[in-house]
Amino acid sequence: MPKKFAGNLNYKKGRRFEYRVMALLRNKGYFCMRAYASKGPYDVIGIRPASQMNQVPLLIQCKTNGKLPKKEREKLELLDKKWHGTTVHAYRSGRTTIFEDLNGNILDI
């Protein structure tokens, strides 16, 4: 495959995963927004319904390969202190989508 198309395929794969994450959250009643083209630190923001106790928004970084680079993790840790939200790393393990916080704790979304 020519090199110029490889980035496009990675983008499509990532976008597809972001939409999957949003669909999972929407099925649980969340309102979701996607930062397309990775213009910000988060790929998806999920806001819980008012009926749930903890109404802090989820600030989600999606990775199809499950690897969150050290520099990116450090940047998210700094932003986690700035914004009133829960920073979440979403990734795939087989056909399952895993949500974990920056401390590596698996979240039940």
Specify the pTM.
0.86
pLDDT reported for residue 5 = 55
- Which top CATH class is 3-101? alpha beta
Please compute the mean of the pLDDT values over residues 19-35 and round it to a whole number: 95
Q: Is the pLDDT of residue 52 over 90?
A: no
Q: Residue 87: name the closest of 65, 56, 50, 54 by CA.
A: 56
Q: For all residues of the chain together, what is the average pLDDT?
A: 88
pLDDT reported for residue 1 = 47
Please compute the mean of the pLDDT values over residues 50-62 and round it to a whole number: 84
Q: What's the one-letter identity of residue 85? A: G
Q: Is the pLDDT of residue 18 over 90?
A: yes
